[in-house]
Amino acid sequence: MRSFASTHASLRSPAMHPGVLVCSIMTLLGGPIASASDKIFEMRAIHDASTLDIEVLQDWHPVRGLIATRQKLVTINVGNLWADQAYRVPVRMVVPENRKARGFHLTGGSTPSRLKLDTKPNQLERELLKSGTGLVFTVVQEPGSYGERELAAAASKRFSETLNPRYKIQYWAWPATLMRAITTAHAETDHFEEGKVAVTGASKNGASPSMAILHDHRMTAVHATVSPIWDSPLRLCDRVAWDELESQPGRRGIFSGGNFGPSFNRTALAAGHTWDDLQRFTTEIADDVFVSRNLRQLRDRKVDMLFHPGTHDSVAYDLAWGGSHHPDIPVYLGANTGHGKKGHPQREQDQQNKSAFLLKHFFPEQVDGSLLSPPNIKHSIENGVLKVAVSFPKNSAAKSGRIWWIFDRAPDGSPKYLSDLIPDANVAEMTHDEKRDEWTAHIKLNPDASRIDFFSNHRKIIRHDDRTYATYLSCPYTRVELGE
């Protein structure tokens, strides 16, 4: 039996799969990619179930518990990272006990060892299954975490030398894993009907679906936490932005300043590339990785989106730029949250955004209430006071407002940007102006401060069956220069 971590040198030849273009298969299974301007994924090949090379580890079998299900565990061929270097992952599929699943919730946030065990659905997953939605789990993790350190190191080295995104696991292997998992489930026609596919996750499991959904129109919703969203200057290797970042005191981590994950600038430069090469690469690949570059097509497809970037996260490190340039992307900002952060003592402890998001996406007619849409924000300064007014689209029915602020926050991505937290006292409840339908707040300014950053969070309750869910949405993160 092949292990979950196995990377096999032999794969089926394209000639073994009639009806599929050889160029399509070679692109998926290790063919050349000249530069980032070429398509990263050949979607015809991604959708081709004949190349999955499925090995069944546990065939469909009943699983008892708080809800009865049928489950199956397989390993699949995602494709080749390069010639003769296969990338295989496990996939576990879960459907209701006595009917086909219509659509499913997908995540890569598992591990090979966990997937060996039958899934015990949590409360949200039971709600999905009860209403006929399936579950699909796979592995989007660093290969070194499950015994493939040499593969991870070899991929990183090849990418640094070539700037070929095919060799960067975060650009190709992880998003392709999610897309190939969809192909795997859709091939199980006795157990799945095609329907909505919502993908969720945090960190690499937030970034990977955020990228995959740009390419794979079978995906219909993404909920991503502490992961990249927008194409800020730092991510595009703008030298002015990088000069400012590198002038900041303190030790910067490997993620801050990275394009779509860990920063590869130093290793690429050491391998002989120039800053012009880095800028050319990041500019050419931007349309393939950033949600902010694809808003029109996502909205035309009616994709549901919600992001939790965190206010102090090393990966989603560019809130000030994103709030200014993309105020219409829906975000919830948990105060003082991010990788390794405990959060502000007054952050919203009852927040149930993910559950509400998925239930509303899959069962819109069964959910009482709609989720909030990004609000508009106005601010002015009078007599040393910052006045803020936040307004939602009519009939949105936000039920609360709470505002947070911090003075003289360091530039995006810098060490102090991540370490200097919002003070415990810098939070206030907002007032609802019923006549104007606005949430308002007045913040006394620090006379010695040169700027202030602020955002507000707003609550709304929705209901599914006999349960209520507290949802929150933020106004755009806003930076105001003082004394101008």
pLDDT tens across 186-205, in order? 999 999 999 999 999 999 99
Mean pLDDT of 228-253: 94
- Chain-centroid distance of CA 428 in Å reads 30
Q: Domain for residue 180, yes or no?
A: yes
Secondary structure of residue 220 in the 3-state scheme: coil
- pLDDT value at 6 more than 60: no
Which of these, 215, 219, 179, lies nearest to 198 by C-alpha position?
Answer: 219
Q: Domain for residue 427, yes or no?
A: yes
Q: Domain for residue 14, yes or no?
A: yes
- Residue 448 in contact with residue 353, Cβ under 8 Å? no
Q: Lowest mean pLDDT: which of 14-18, 132-136, 189-193? A: 14-18
Please provide residue 293's backbone torsions phi and psi, each rounded to the nearest 5 degrees. -85, -5
* Per-residue model confidence (pLDDT) at position 252: 85
* Per-residue model confidence (pLDDT) at position 9: 29
Residue ending a domain, choose from 153, 182, 202: 202
Residue type, 351: Q
* Per-residue model confidence (pLDDT) at position 21: 28
- pLDDT value at 484 more than 60: no
Distance CA 34, CA 123 (A): 47
State how many domains the chain has: 2
* Per-residue model confidence (pLDDT) at position 12: 29
Residue type, 10: S
* Per-residue model confidence (pLDDT) at position 120: 97
Predicted TM-score (pTM) of the model is 0.91
Q: Say how many CA atoms lie within 13 Å of 63 toward its Cβ.
A: 20
Q: Domain for residue 184, yes or no?
A: yes
Ranked by mean pLDDT, which of 1-10, 353-362, 386-395 comes out on top?
353-362
Which of these, 192, 148, 167, 149, lies nearest to 49 by C-alpha position?
Answer: 192
Q: Domain for residue 474, yes or no?
A: yes
Question: Where residue 453 sits, what CATH number does that domain have?
Answer: 2.60.40.10
Range of the domain at 402: 370-481
Residue ending a domain, choose from 185, 202, 219: 202
- pLDDT value at 16 more than 90: no
Handedness of CA 186, 199, 213, 159 (dihedral sign): negative
Residue ending a domain, choose from 183, 202, 221: 202
Match 């995104």 to its residue by tokens.
Answer: 165
Q: Domain for residue 356, yes or no?
A: no
Mean pLDDT of the residues in the chain:
91
Query: For residue range 399-456, what is the model confidence (pLDDT) as tens digits?
Result: 999 999 999 999 999 999 999 999 999 999 999 998 999 999 999 999 999 999 999 9
User: What element of type H or E holds 456?
Assistant: strand 451-464
* Size (the chain), residues: 484
Q: Domain for residue 258, yes or no?
A: no
Q: Domain for residue 405, yes or no?
A: yes
